[in-house]
A and B are shown apart, each in its own frame.
Chain A
């Protein structure tokens, strides 16, 4: 499903270079639940962005569902992000001017889904994350845990193959964090591939597989 072969990501910073990823080779199978851990600056987010087609490897091959995506046009990569990938961020990134429901509708808006179908599917997804009663609330009227659940609903409303979460519980208290993890684990149980970046050992432990990174490289036999 996700296959990286000798992937490098090198940032040019002024005169020098930062090797954020070095010879990363990694395979993640369909339906896996993977935790990505490592010290700050070890390259976890960079790896996640490459997997999510938001960034391109400087060197190496990346195949998503058997397709080499590193070399596709920006247009096609947008479509892959739209249909195959869901993102969840530490800082939620909900649009503050839109209601919870409208935030969940957002990906379908750009996909050109007809309004009735859009509303229907968004409402269903909000129900699945247990927030039907908050549909008309704006983000600033929601708790952190509720916001992250709205963000998860938005990430999965297009029925993607992979859910990529970068420290999804980093801004939540323990109770909300537990709720959020339960929610995405339920989705994983129904076949959604899950990659979660975390600093929290308790969260990492919940995953069936833990990939450790240090200084841009995979550590141990985690690949």
Chain B
């Protein structure tokens, strides 16, 4: 039997039951579109995070107080030392460190005249801009100099500037944070949400001033920009050794970006797999639907099967004919599902334009292969029942 004749024959049989065909195609289409859309979202989430890390600066180490992997009892009765500006200065002097920036954070309301906006207030130094790859929209960043000096300069995120100043020029204006007064020296260029903060909706002030405003002696983080990409782990050990010496105990955690990234990556891969798993369930349901339709079809068409055998169709040809029907149903559903999934993704991107959601090519190929497999997998049993029919019994009109 010729391949195209086989397909035409199977398609002709399907055309005889339009509604039934449409329903089982829809079942597979829903499953496949779920697979495609969900992998696209999972993959998009992964890419989003990777992009965010790239924007963060790829040579970044983050030092935070406290040991994350606490094994055994907490040393010295659980006392962890604060991260101090002295710690920061010591780290910044390390050989392999290009630059470093301390970070103190609190949320507070920034006032200008009668307008106020509650935002994260970041206390840091001039190097922060370089470490976090921040660009200045207008004015200057925080002035360089001794971090212990303090100062009353403030740099605004672009959203804060717009909300507080509307059409006025914020540069040189005075804003208040609590009772403290600051002079606006710069506005950041638009950046958007980063992993940690929305860089458009925060303000930056000198670190020493911040600690005084927040009434804190400890830093939130110390960011470290490493000179050479391939010296990340060496530098990390340098920092850990330095801090252990300074605090006489290992009470800080140093995170490399790669570690963070791979942690995120594996979480997101697990998420994608879970999504695909859920989608596969609906695909399996669709497969059972196809099996059901094919079983009904085989039962209904007993006489046809008997006739085909009487006309000299071999068992494997009967098998192929019914399998072809199941595969047509499934791959038809697969193609429709791809279209449906693409539509869903487009709609999603329409709502969240920043989200890089597009189905990875392997997912498209896998979806088609999967629908084919569903057709074969769930079509074999009904088709085998067709071939096993006794032609004499099948032809007998009861």
Residues of chain A whose beta carbon lies under 8 Å from any beta carbon of chain B: 49, 52, 54-55, 74-75, 78-83, 85, 87, 89-91, 93, 95-98, 106-107, 109-112, 114-115, 154, 158
Tell whether, in the assembled complex, residue B397 and residue A91 are in contact, meaning their CB atoms are under 8 Å apart.
Answer: yes
Q: Please name all residues of chain A whose beta carbon is closer than 8 Å to the beta carbon of B303 when the two chains form the complex.
A: 93
A54 contacts which of B12, B13, B15, B391 (Cβ < 8 Å)?
Answer: B391
* A111 and B9 contact, CB distance less than 8 A: no
* Complex Cα gap A80–B307 (Å): 15
- A residues in contact with B395, CB < 8 Å: 54, 89, 93
Number of interface residues of B (CB under 8 A): 25
Check B312 against A54 for contact (C-beta < 8 Å). Answer: no
* Chain A residues within 8 Å of B15, by CB: 97
Question: Can you show 15 pairs from A to B with CB atoms below 8 A apart?
Answer: A52-B310, A54-B310, A74-B314, A74-B315, A75-B315, A79-B312, A81-B310, A81-B312, A87-B311, A93-B304, A93-B307, A93-B395, A106-B311, A110-B311, A154-B311
**3 A-B pairs with least C-beta separation:** A82-B312, A78-B314, A81-B312
Please measure, in the bound complex, the distance between the C-alpha atom of A80 and the C-alpha atom of B313, giving whole angstroms. 10
Contact in complex: B392, A54 (CB < 8 Å): yes
B212 on the A face (CB < 8 A): no
Does B1 lie at the interface of the complex (its beta carbon under 8 Å from any beta carbon of A)?
Answer: yes
Q: Across the interface, do A83 and B312 meet the contact criterion of CB distance under 8 Å?
A: yes
Asked if B309 and A81 make an inter-chain contact with CB atoms under 8 angstroms apart, the answer reads yes
Residues of A within 8 A of B311 (CB): 81-82, 87, 106-107, 110, 154
If A55-B392, A87-B310, A107-B312 touch, does A95 touch B1 (CB 8 Å cutoff)? Answer: no
Given contacts A87-B310, A91-B397, A112-B1, contact A78 B315 (CB under 8 A): yes
Question: Which residue of chain A has its CB nearest to the CB of B397?
Answer: A91
B5 interface hit (Cβ, 8 Å): yes
A147 to chain B: closest CB distance in Å? 13
Q: How far is the CB of A23 from chain B (nearest CB, A)?
A: 21
Contact between A110 and B312, CB atoms less than 8 A apart: yes
Q: Is B392 touching A110 in the complex (CB atoms < 8 A)?
A: no
A107 to B5, CA, bound (A): 12
With A55-B392, A91-B397, A97-B12 known to touch, is A110 a contact of B315 (CB < 8 Å)? no
Give the Cβ gap from B335 to chain A, nearest Cβ, in Å. Answer: 24
Docked Cα-Cα span, A90 to B397, in Å, equals: 9
Whether the pair B304, A95 counts as a contact (CB closer than 8 A) is yes
Complex alpha-carbon distance, A81 and B315, angstroms: 13
Looking at chain B's contact residues, is the secondary structure mostly helix, strand, loop, or mixed?
helix
**Shortest Cβ distance from A92 into B: residue:** B307
**B1-40 contact mask (Cβ, 8 Å, vs A): 1 or 0:** 1100100010011011000000000000000000000000
What separation, in Å, do the CA atoms of A172 and B304 have in the docked complex?
A: 21
Q: Mark B303-328, 1 if CB is under 8 A from A, else 0.
A: 11011111111110100000000000
* Complex CA distance for A15 and B171, rounded to whole angstroms: 103
Nearest B residue (CB) for A52: B310
**Residue pair A95, B312 in contact (C-beta under 8 Å):** no
B223 CB, nearest partner CB in chain A, Å: 72
**Chain B residue with the shortest CB-CB distance to A84:** B312
Task: Please give, as numbers and ranges, the residues of chain A lying within 8 Å of B309 by CB-CB distance.
Answer: 54, 78, 81
A53 CB to closest chain B CB (Å) equals 9
Q: Given A55-B392, A110-B317, A112-B2 in contact, is the A98-B12 Cβ separation under 8 Å? A: yes
A98 to B308, CA, bound (A): 13
Q: Are A110 and B310 interface neighbours, CB within 8 A?
A: no
18 new A-B contacts, CB < 8 A, other than A54-B391, A74-B315, A115-B2, are A52-B310, A54-B309, A74-B314, A78-B313, A78-B315, A81-B311, A81-B312, A85-B312, A87-B311, A90-B397, A96-B16, A97-B12, A97-B13, A97-B16, A107-B312, A110-B314, A110-B317, A158-B312
Q: How far is the CA of A91 from the CA of B312 in the complex (A)?
A: 19
> Is the beta-carbon distance between A78 and B12 smaller than 8 angstroms?
no
A16 and B392 alpha carbons, distance in the complex (Å): 20
Q: Give the distance in Å from the alpha carbon of A60 to the alpha carbon of B77 in the complex.
A: 98
> Can you name the residue of chain A whose Cβ is closest to the Cβ of B317?
A110
Which of A89, A115, A158 meets B5, CB within 8 Å?
A115
Across the interface, which residues of B come within 8 angstroms of A98, CB to CB?
12
Distance between Cα atoms of A98 and B397 in the complex (Å): 20
Q: Please state if A49 and B392 are interface contacts (CB–CB under 8 Å).
A: yes
| Most chain B beta-carbon contacts within 10 A, residue among A82, A95, A107, A111 | A95
How far does the alpha carbon of A91 sit from the alpha carbon of B307 in the complex, in Å? 11
- By beta carbon, the residue of chain A nearest B15 is A97
- Cβ contacts under 8 Å, B314 to chain A: 74-75, 78-79, 110
CB distance from B53 to the nearest CB of A (A): 59
> Chain A nearest CB: distance from B85 CB in Å?
85
- Which residues from A are CB-within-8-Å of B392? 49, 54-55
Least distance between A111 CB and chain B CB atoms (Å): 7
